[in-house]
Amino acid sequence: MSGDPNILFEQQGSIGMVTLDRPKALNALTLEMIEALHAKLEEWREDAAAQAVIIQGTGPKAFCAGGDVRAVYEAGCEGSDLTQRFFREEYKLNRAIKHFPKPFIALLDGITMGGGMGVSVHGRYRVATEKTIMAMPETAIGFFPDVGGSYFLSRLQEPLGLYLALTGARLDAADALYTGLATHYIASDRLVDTIRELAVLDIVEDEPWTWDAKISEILERHSDVAGESGLAKDIRDISRHFGQNSVSAVLHSLREDSSEWASEHLEILQKRSPTSLAISFEELQRAANLDFDSCMRMEYRMSQACMAGHDFYEGIRAVLVDKDHAPKWSPATLDEVTREVVQAHFHALGESELVVA
């Protein structure tokens, strides 16, 4: 067990087990949880006793609802350097998971959003259950899809990533499998047995290339059918309206369509931060040509531009502080978001660049 009470580490047989243990905050990641997890992964990477890592969340509702953005908001209001340290350490953790050399298995048995996506989707196995709700909802808080969202969203079947980024659409297990963001579906009440079988797999003497076949066999044997994906049913509408070369073209396309689907989606986008929509569009376009580490450096630049702007603070105020859900975005319309402001979110940071090594 670790020193930080909000995250637990234990060895279960040949598995390193991580439990995000902050259930009252839907297991949202604090800087301390991020640092503790990163340090433990470095240890397990070299430790032959840990053949694989499983990550799960405590409590009935969430795997992990995101980052502790409330703390970042308070830091920004007070001028503390947590606005830099939080994102720097979170993105370095995302990178450590992306490059982790052993099987990494995330049990997404509940809400999995933002920062929760960042500590799961970069690993090799992502298990969804009937309780999974996945989303990248950051345009609703005046931010942008981060934690590697630029990388994994820009690599989904087009234009699904843009659709998820702009709308913050929530995926269930069937949707998550359809997009490829989840790799398996296992009923929630079978997870304990699945973990038990993984933990007693004796792979220490094995040839390492047989390890993944054995994990897959266990996960597949416990798998069930997730049902039909709503996203799959909507894919024609999504492609038609989101396969455009600007956010305003997406909005125009939706306005021209009198269907209920189009008006619902137009309404959603009109509630999002116009600046967030514009920078998220630019982010995904740029990310398509960048490797993972370059994506993280870009996201860090974007995070710091948002810390120096208006909408992140207004978004957190409206969603997490006052909970009036009535943010007053500035600028208030997409037409007022200038090209200069968008480009400023991608400027190099000189001395304070995210350096990964």
Chain residues that interact with ligand QUE, rule: CB under 6 A: 25-26, 28, 65-70, 114-115, 137-138, 140-141, 319
| 346 CB-contact burial (10 Å; exposed 0-12 / middle 13-18 / buried 19+) | middle
Shortest distance, position 24 Cβ to ligand QUE, whole Å: 8
Q: In whole angstroms, give the CA distance from residue 272 to residue 143.
A: 10
Q: Tokens 């020193």 map to which residue?
A: 3
Q: Which two tokens stand for residue 99?
A: 């490059």
Coil vs helix vs strand at 337? coil
Residue 179 or 276 with smaller CB distance to ligand QUE: 276
Shortest distance, position 100 Cβ to ligand QUE, whole Å: 23
Residue nearest to ligand QUE (CB): 66
Q: Residue 15: which of 202, 273, 161, 291 has the closest Cα?
A: 202
Q: Tokens 């808080």 map to which residue?
A: 141
Q: In whole angstroms, give the CA distance from residue 177 to residue 134.
A: 11
Residue 13 or 59 with smaller CB distance to ligand QUE: 59
Coil vs helix vs strand at 7? strand
Shortest distance, position 52 Cβ to ligand QUE, whole Å: 27
Residue 97 or 218 with smaller CB distance to ligand QUE: 97
Residue 52 or 69 with smaller CB distance to ligand QUE: 69
Q: In whole angstroms, give the CA distance from residue 334 to residue 343.
A: 15
Q: In whole angstroms, give the CA distance from residue 9 to residue 15.
A: 10
Shortest distance, position 257 Cβ to ligand QUE, whole Å: 26
Residue 10 or 322 with smaller CB distance to ligand QUE: 322
Contact present, 46 and 83 (Cβ < 8 Å): no
Q: Which residues are catalytic?
A: 67, 115, 138, 146
| 117 CB-contact burial (10 Å; exposed 0-12 / middle 13-18 / buried 19+) | buried
Q: In whole angstroms, give the CA distance from residue 134 to residue 147.
A: 14
The amino acid at 253? S
Shortest distance, position 347 Cβ to ligand QUE, whole Å: 23
Residue 25 or 341 with smaller CB distance to ligand QUE: 25
Shortest distance, position 135 Cβ to ligand QUE, whole Å: 8
Shortest distance, position 201 Cβ to ligand QUE, whole Å: 34
Work out the number of other CB atoms within 10 angstroms of the CB of residue 245. 9
Identify the sign of the CA torsion 97, 57, 177, 160: negative
Q: Which string of DSSP letters, residue by residue, matches 70-126? A: HHHHHHHHHT-THHHHHHHHHHHHHHHHHT-SS-EEEEE-SEEETHHHHTTTTSSEE
Residue 67 or 159 with smaller CB distance to ligand QUE: 67
